[in-house]
């Protein structure tokens, strides 16, 4: 993930790293803990002594590491269902048009972001500014839906479930992502 040229993959990596930092762990520690678990299982299977973990198994840090690994186990989806299907249930044509434009603009930026690693500093800055603009437009759109009493798009439920598995609320995730993107933007433009 950390070496991907795709913007969304890099964004997820940076977000995950920032979230883990708030929990007092790092991606490297999660990786080491996963390796230790595999080594311990292999040792038990071969009737050898189990290697000692780097982290005290009774510590809060170990609990966070176990919880994080459990949230990424097979059988649990880690992707968002970005269901942008047409919303025939929207009463106001203006709101339906706004959704269609947002979907188109967001989709274009996702495709553009696939080549993020090849962009120069100016290109990266332009993409990040456009993404920030689309994120603000989504916030306005969703707030308008709530005020109108309209149901949220299906991807909102998918987003909430994913964040719950990570132990973070939507507002905390939004604040963390904003701070992460600002810091990341500076790091990426300064090379």
The pLDDT, as a whole number, for residue 79 is 47
Domain ranges of the chain: 7-71, 93-189
The mean per-residue pLDDT over the stretch 133-159 comes to 79
The pLDDT, as a whole number, for residue 1 is 66
pLDDT in tens, 58-85: 787 777 777 767 666 544 444 444 444 4
Model pTM score: 0.61
With a cut of 70, say whether residue 170 has pLDDT above it: yes
The mean per-residue pLDDT over the stretch 16-45 comes to 82
Instruction: Output the 3-class SS for the chain.
Output: CCCCCCHHHHHHHHHHHHHHHHHCCCHHHHHHHHHHHHHHHHHHHCCCCCCCCCCCCCCHHHHHHHHHHHHCCCCCCCCCCCCCCCCCCCCCHHHHHHHHHHHHHHHHHHHHHCCHHHCCHHHHHHHHHHHHHHHHHHHHHHHHHHHHCCCCCHHHHHHHHHHHHHCCCHHHHHHHHHHHHHHHHHHHHCC
């Amino acid at each position: 993930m950390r070496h991907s040229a795709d913007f969304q993959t890099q964004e997820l990596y940076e977000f995950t790293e920032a979230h883990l930092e708030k929990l007092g762990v790092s991606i490297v520690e999660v990786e080491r803990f996963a390796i230790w678990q595999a080594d311990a299982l292999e040792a038990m299977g071969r009737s050898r002594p189990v290697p000692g973990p780097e982290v005290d198994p009774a510590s809060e840090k170990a609990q966070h590491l176990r919880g994080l690994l459990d949230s990424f186990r097979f059988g649990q989806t880690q992707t968002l269902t970005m269901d942008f299907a047409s919303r025939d249930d929207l009463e106001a044509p203006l709101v339906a048009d706004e959704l269609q434009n947002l979907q188109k603009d967001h989709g274009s930026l996702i495709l553009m972001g696939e080549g993020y690693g090849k962009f120069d500093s100016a290109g990266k800055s332009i993409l990040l500014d456009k993404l920030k603009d689309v994120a603000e437009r989504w916030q306005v759109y969703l707030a308008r839906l709530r005020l109108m009493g309209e149901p949220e798009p299906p991807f909102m439920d998918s987003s909430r479930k994913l964040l719950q598995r990570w132990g973070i609320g939507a507002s905390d995730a939004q604040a963390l992502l904003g701070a992460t993107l600002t810091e990341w933007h500076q790091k990426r433009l300064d090379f």
